[in-house]
Amino acid sequence: MCENGDAPRIRQGERERYLAEHPELVPAGQLRRKGLRAPAEALVYNCNAHEYQAWCNPADAAPLPDEELERRREARRVAEMRRRARLRCPACGRAVAKSVRQARGVCLRDGLWHEGDDRVILCPDCKRERDEARERARRIALEERRAALASAAKEPVPNVEGPLPKTIVLDAETTGLSSRFDHLLTVGICDGEGQEVACFRVCPPAECCEWPEAEEVNGIAPADTVSWPAVEDVVPELQRILDAAEVVIGYNVWFDLEFLRAAGVALPDCRYVDVMAMFAPVFGLRDDYRGGWRWQTLATAAAYVGHDWDEEGPHDALADARATLAVLRWLEAHEGEEVDRREQGERRAAAWRRLDAADAAKM
């Protein structure tokens, strides 16, 4: 290691002139690779590394102590082991390439290179085997689901009797986040007083045979849906309820409406209320990425206003619709009040504690 001491700092604009005036100087790294060290004559800025690097006079160099040389050899050995490990496939242990650059070229185009850790995720052969195994499993699951749907007796579609409410609150549980590729599972609707209007359960098409990420959230498994009516049987009753409504309320309401539209429901010309957009400024956290106020989940909003969930808890369509109504009624009751920042912060902290306690209770 070179000893910097009080060596002068040479900026980028002075680098070329200074090194021309002192041709005897070499980078300290060259001496270290030879097992030598010397006091720094100058700290020269390296624009590629964005740091000052020591330059030394080889005439002043002295050998490194034996323990320092041994430590450096051990460090190089460990670094070489780690480099080789990054180039090996974790599944089969084969080396993908001889260098990081070659491995990136082989794996990056197939999405098999981990940019953060700079390592191989899978070799192309293992990826191909994994994809083939997944495809076989998908085909088996599809055949089993088709057989289950063919043999299952379908539940009747709820039929709402009596006058239909002018104000409705709705929420939907789905198999994913994209209305183009995912499907409805349940649609819960209550009126402006929180009374149940209908709760529709929808069986996705046979081609949609698994939704593991959504299942982890809403607890609805593919096996639970085989006896539920198909979406084309549910749409007429859903359409009748929506056509009678003058106000449609939801939490991120356009997310749910896009799924209804994709299912074949024509959205009526009425007033739509998005409680999520109304709640965001009340919660009071800024969104530095998108600008404006940061959107919060329904669970956070319900905890903030002190809503007590039904036995089903969050991510049940009807329970979520009632929680949405509770948040809206709280916002209406406090509309126009001056915001007390201290009280707002205390409410946020209390909401987060309630959420943490709910998560701990599930474990």
Q: What is the 3-state secondary structure (H, E, C) of 324-341?
A: HHHHHHHHHHCCCCCCCH
CA distances (Å), origin 342, targets 14, 353, 354: 54, 17, 18
Taking a C-beta distance cutoff of 8 angstroms, is the pair 5, 40 a contact? yes
- For the entire predicted model, the pTM comes to 0.70
**Helix (H), strand (E) at residue 274:** strand 271-274
Give the up-direction half-sphere exposure of residue 188: CA atoms within 13 A in the CB hemisphere: 22
* Local confidence pLDDT in tens for the 363 residues of the chain: 445 557 889 898 888 899 999 999 999 888 888 888 888 888 999 888 788 899 999 998 888 888 888 888 888 888 888 777 877 888 888 887 777 777 777 777 677 777 666 677 778 888 889 889 999 999 999 999 999 999 989 899 999 988 999 999 999 999 999 999 999 999 999 999 999 999 999 999 999 988 999 999 999 999 999 999 999 999 999 999 999 999 999 999 999 999 999 999 999 999 999 999 999 999 989 888 778 899 999 999 999 999 988 766 788 999 999 999 999 999 999 988 887 888 888 989 999 998 888 888 776
How many residues are there in the chain?
363
Element (H, E) at 343: helix 341-362
Do 264 and 235 meet the contact criterion of CB atoms below 8 Å apart? Answer: yes
Residue 15's contacts (CB-CB under 8 Å, 6 or more residues apart) are 44, 45
Question: For position 259, what pLDDT does the model report?
Answer: 96
Chain centre distance of CA 362: 22
Residues sharing a CB contact under 8 Å with residue 279, sequence separation 6 or more, in sequence order = 296, 301, 304, 327, 331
CB atoms within 10 A of CB 186: 21
pLDDT for res 76: 82
Name the token pair of 214: 């959504």
Tokens encoding 350: 């209390």
Looking at this protein, which amino acid is placed at residue 301?
A: A
Structure-token match 């007590």, residue found:
308
pLDDT at residue 1, as a whole number: 43
Using alpha carbons, select from 227, 162, 180, 236 the residue that is nearest to residue 201: 227
